[in-house]
Amino acid sequence: MNILTFAKWIEEAPNWILALPEGLQRLCFQFFQVFVYENRWKFFTDGLGTTFIVTIGALIIGVIIGMLVAIIRSTHDSARRRPNIILRILNGICKIYVTVLRGTPLMVQLLIMGFVVMVPKGNFETVLCAIITLGINSGAYVAEIARSGIMSISAGQMEAGRSLGLNYSQTMAYIIMPQAFKNILPALGNELIALLKETSLVTVIALQDVTKAAQVIVSKSYTATIPYISLAIIYLVLVIILTKLLGILERRLRESDKR
């Protein structure tokens, strides 16, 4: 592998760079090395694609699992009589799920899924493994968030729905969940932001996400500053954009609160 040295690069550099002081010249050299040389920026964009796919996939799985667990848990807890055996078993499973997933580090969960349970081969399987692991992990947090949302809705809403002849699931779907969702949106947004950042851990199962991309570039360019600072800025920009989008969604849902 031929290594690009500063001396070699400066020979072919355009005039405006030669006019700069040496410190800035070296900085430009680093930028060139990290992004331009051998089209290395493509590592970042490819990695970003993976980061997006993993985040969105894990989000969908997490929300589905979380909502289901929250509904089971709150149905169990709000039952006035002793709940039936199936509900009690489901509730037990949900409790164990939340305890285990919140009680072990995500990195350890990734290592177990990646090297013990799924052992993915090839890129597609690795992406799938990451999505499933992060989704299951996120589901445990979403479950508790969603449960707090469901419990924040007054019992009168359920009674009103039932008194009109709607059954339990219809009342949940049309009356309780839409209101609960609105209440938990800020907390859910927080979880989404955490999820986006936690995808950086998928490097431990050798997935080429944007963090891995930065590591690869460091190993190729023998410089750490620019790749890692850039990586931080990429995450920061993504989170800021997400925060803005969530704010817009929140305002839309608050429509009915206008007085």
Partner 1 sequence: MINVKGLKKAFGENVVLCGIDEHIKKGEKVVIIGASGSGKSTFLRCLNLLEQPTAGNIFFEDVDITDPKNDINRLRRKMGMVFQQFNLFPHMTVKENLKLAPVKLKIMTEEEAEEKALALLARVGLPEKADAYPTQLSGGQQQRIAIARALAMNPDVMLFDEPTSALDPEMVGEVLAIMRELADEGMTMVVVTHEMGFAREVATRVLFMDEGVIAEQGTPEEIFDNPQSPRLKAFLGKVL
Site for partner 1 in 158-177 (CB under 8 A): 159-167, 170, 174-175
- Quick one: 25 or 157, whose CB is closer to partner 1? 157
- Quick one: 62 or 161, whose CB is closer to partner 1? 161
- Quick one: 148 or 157, whose CB is closer to partner 1? 157
CA nearest to 44, candidates 256, 220, 215, 224: 215
Choosing from 40, 147, 182, 220, the residue that interacts with partner 1 (CB under 8 A) is 182
- Quick one: 5 or 154, whose CB is closer to partner 1? 154
In contact, 135 and 58? CB cutoff 8 Å: yes
Q: Which residues contact 161 (CB under 8 A, 6 or more apart)?
A: 170, 171, 174, 175, 176
Return the DSSP state at 160.
H
- Quick one: 12 or 255, whose CB is closer to partner 1? 255
CB of 94 to partner 1, least distance (A): 25
Site for partner 1 in 125-144 (CB under 8 A): none
Site string for partner 1, 12-51 (x = CB under 8 A): ----------------------------------------
- Quick one: 167 or 225, whose CB is closer to partner 1? 167
Task: Please enumerate, as own/partner, the contacts of 151-160 that have beta carbons within 8 Å and a separation of 24 or more.
Answer: 151/74, 151/77, 152/180, 152/183, 153/179, 153/180, 153/183, 155/78, 158/78
* Residue 149: Cβ within 10 Å count: 23
In contact, 205 and 110? CB cutoff 8 Å: yes
CB of 35 to partner 1, least distance (A): 48
Site string for partner 1, 56-85 (x = CB under 8 A): ------------------------xx----
* Cα–Cα distance, 145 to 216 (Å, whole number): 37
- Quick one: 21 or 165, whose CB is closer to partner 1? 165
In the numeric block, which tokens belong to residue 201? 């851990």
CB of 258 to partner 1, least distance (A): 7
251 binds partner 1 (CB under 8 A): no
In contact, 209 and 52? CB cutoff 8 Å: no
Alpha carbon 160 to its chain's center: 37
Question: Phi/psi of residue 144, each to 5°?
Answer: -70, -35
CB of 159 to partner 1, least distance (A): 6
* Cα–Cα distance, 218 to 122 (Å, whole number): 24
CB of 82 to partner 1, least distance (A): 12
CB of 246 to partner 1, least distance (A): 18
CB of 33 to partner 1, least distance (A): 54
Give the binding site for partner 1 (CB under 8 A): 80-81, 154, 156-157, 159-167, 170, 174-175, 178-179, 182, 255-259
